[in-house]
Each structure stands twice: as structure tokens, then as C-alpha cells.
Structure 1
Amino acid sequence: MKQDEYLDKLPENLRLIIQLTDYRTAMILIKHYGGSDYSFPPLKSISESHELAELLGFNNLKKLCQFWNGDIVYIPKSDRYLGILRDKRIEQDLAELGASSDIQRQLAKKYNVTTRWIRSVRKNQVSKTPAVSKYDRQLDMFAC
């Protein structure tokens, strides 16, 4: 996973969770265990019926347990972090699904935000890509 500028705004444990798994997993952990310590079980003691395996998926749980093998980890609690992660996930969905008005309505419903917010996230996403100047497309008149 590539390192983005927004990751610097997140606590270290949250960054590690995102780097080991994905944004969705981090959002679920914050929602269910935010503001408390969680003891990730040792890798050899987990199974597909573990409570976290059902929430996160067995592969994600395996990655986290492999890294924190029985350690107690603080899961931060803050809506600000959830908002950052939610917006990043919206950007991913827009990139994968497109940005039609129908998709924007579906994403607004999925993430419990307004379509105006989805358009705002899309605008920020588009403005991050470097624009090609009209002068970059023109040939140099004086080139040999």
C-alpha cells in the first residue's frame, strides 16, 4: 500500500492497521473497539469462528494477529479519524465505480453522508491529479 499524506494525521496504531490490512478494517476496529485496549490473540489460537474473524475477515485478522501476536493494542476513538478513513474509502469507491450521479447517490447512502459531500470528496480527488497546462500540449515553435 502506498503511503499517502493523510496517513501522517493518524495515530501510529491506526496507520499500522491500515498498512497491514485496509481502510475498511481500520474503520470497523474504531467503530467496535475505539477508545479501548484490545488484546490481539496469538496467531496459533485464532480460527475462522473468532469474533474478529467474522467482523474483519479471517485473512485480515491473521495479518493483525501475526503482527501483534498476543500484544495489547490501543485502538483510538475519534470521529475525526473515521471521517478521514471514510473519505479515503469514498475516493477509492469513486475511482473503482466511476463518479456518475447514480453512483454518487449510492455512495451517499452507503456512507450516510449527503451527495454534496460525495461531490466535494470527488472535487478534492480530481484536484489532486496534476492538471496538464495547454502550454504543455503545444509544440515549441523554435525547436529544430
Structure 2
Amino acid sequence: MDKTVMTVTMNPAIDIQYVVPDFSPGRWFQASEVDRSAGGKGVNVSIILQQLGYESAAMGFLAGFCGEYVRDTLRRLKLTTNFVNVIGESRTNVYIVDEVGRIETGVTEPGPYISDESLGRFMKNYERMLSRARLVYLGGSLPPECRKMPIKI
């Protein structure tokens, strides 16, 4: 078996896109279209790699209902996952697309707190997975607690 591509998304999310007619702030709208998907840069890369016929293993942190949604979505797509569960709630990113002006407005949540213990578990998994990976993709936003961590690729 070929080695897999390891994708690292430290702060995955549920991406929700609402298409609304003639959006402007301060009003209520009924969406004409709604799309929900598992998101985060590395998660998106894993999904695309699978569509191109490559194996990948998605890693990072997941928390709460949103985290379970991301994990479940990836498993239904038959993607390998190796996320560390943490306390709190994974992010939701909301995008509002104006149907008329085709302008997109986005709001993103910060994501869960990552404890030193959780970071240590991630690093242990990461080191173990390196021997199985032919490539590593690191992408997306970092939780504040992860911005100074030493990572080798």
C-alpha cells in the first residue's frame, strides 16, 4: 500500500453557506439555498485527494456536536481520521451569499480551547503518523494555544 497524505487541520469547522435574495444587514431573510459541509483547509484537501483517488489521513482537534458532525461526515466519505477529542465546541463558519450582488459575508467562530495535555496527545499521534505519510499538508487557522508548538514535517 502506498503511504498516505497526512492532512492537519488544527481548527476544523462546519461550513454553512446561506444564499439569500438581496442581502443587507439588519433584516431577516429566508435562504433560497443552504449548504452544510465539513470544513477546514486540511479537511477540504483530504476530500479533494479522495476524489482524485489518493488516500489521506485527516488529523487535528474536534470538540462537541460540531466536531462529531465533521468526524461523521468524513467517515461517511470513507476518509481515515485521527483527531484528538477536546472539551468545548468545534467552530462553525457561516457564509451569507447575496443572490443579487454576489457578495459574500462570512462569520467564523474561534473554536475550542486546546489544553497542554490535548496538544501532547496530538503531537504523539502526529509523530506516529509521520512514518506512514508520504506527504504532510498543514493548513488553516490555529487555535491560540497551538501557535508556538514545534512541528516537524
Q: Give TM class, smaller chain.
A: under 0.3
When normalised by structure 1's length, the TM-score is 0.21
Between Structure 1 and Structure 2, which shows a larger proportion of helix residues? 1
Larger Rg: 1 or 2? 1
Greater fraction strand: 2
